[in-house]
Chains A and B, each alone.
Chain A
Amino acid sequence: RKEVEQDPGPFNVPEGATVAFNCTYSNSASQSFFWYRQDCRKEPKLLMSVYSSGNEDGRFTAQLNRASQYISLLIRDSKLSDSATYLCVVNNGLTGGGNKLTFGTGTQLKVEL
């Protein structure tokens, strides 16, 4: 089983649609969780952290279910500029210091007119 698993997509949605991505992780001791966004041939950029109580940032809502070991990202009112690859990221920590982030392969989103 992969440490972090995502549906690669692509998800093709019309502008204004609501789209949801799920991600599962294998390490029950994982400490923290993030969604990153990566545009084509660019570096990943932090989209939002994911908290146990769920959190929202504008049109984006992230949820964490520790019991089932999955994370979700909901995007409402999709914009053309939301087209990108969305990376699910799990932090397992390092005993010596630093954060060991494990990345999923990403889910590709294409928002169309």
Chain B
Amino acid sequence: ETGVTQTPRHLVMGMTNKKSLKCEQHLGHNAMYWYKQSAKKPLELMFVYNFKEQTENNSVPSRFSPECPNSSHLFLHLHTLQPEDSALYLCASSHFLGDEPYEQYFGPGTRLTVT
């Protein structure tokens, strides 16, 4: 596989369920990101991991819990979500070295519906 992959592609869950989203990057990058994209809104950065360490939590509610076991894998654990959490969840990865900015490459996303 190449690029950034995400599973599942679609997920429907009830408000009391617990589920996890998975992201894997095959690009040799060392930074990984979770974004949320709701209808008619810009992409919102949720979490950033650099070399497996979380470097940004953009005021995300605790019902979203990220996990980064290594620089190729990223998870987003979900529990007791609300209907307004329904959105497209996108994972991205990039190089990061010192102060140099690099382009981010996105996975296809998981379309989440909370019922």
Question: Which residues of A approach B to under 8 Å, CB–CB?
Answer: 4, 31-32, 34, 41-46, 49, 87, 91, 93-94, 96-106
Contacts and interface: CB of A to CB of B under 8 A. Distances in A.
A-B pairs with lowest CB-CB distance, top 4: A96-B55, A97-B50, A43-B106, A98-B48
B45 to A, nearest CB: 6
B109 A100 contact: no
16 contacts: A43-B107, A44-B43, A46-B104, A87-B42, A93-B101, A96-B55, A97-B55, A98-B33, A98-B48, A98-B50, A98-B94, A99-B94, A99-B104, A100-B45, A105-B41, A105-B42
Interface residues of B, number: 28
Contacts of A105: 40-42
Contacts, number: 73
Q: Which of B40, B96, B101 has the most CB of A within 10 A?
A: B101
A90 to B, nearest CB: 10
A99 B104 CA distance: 8
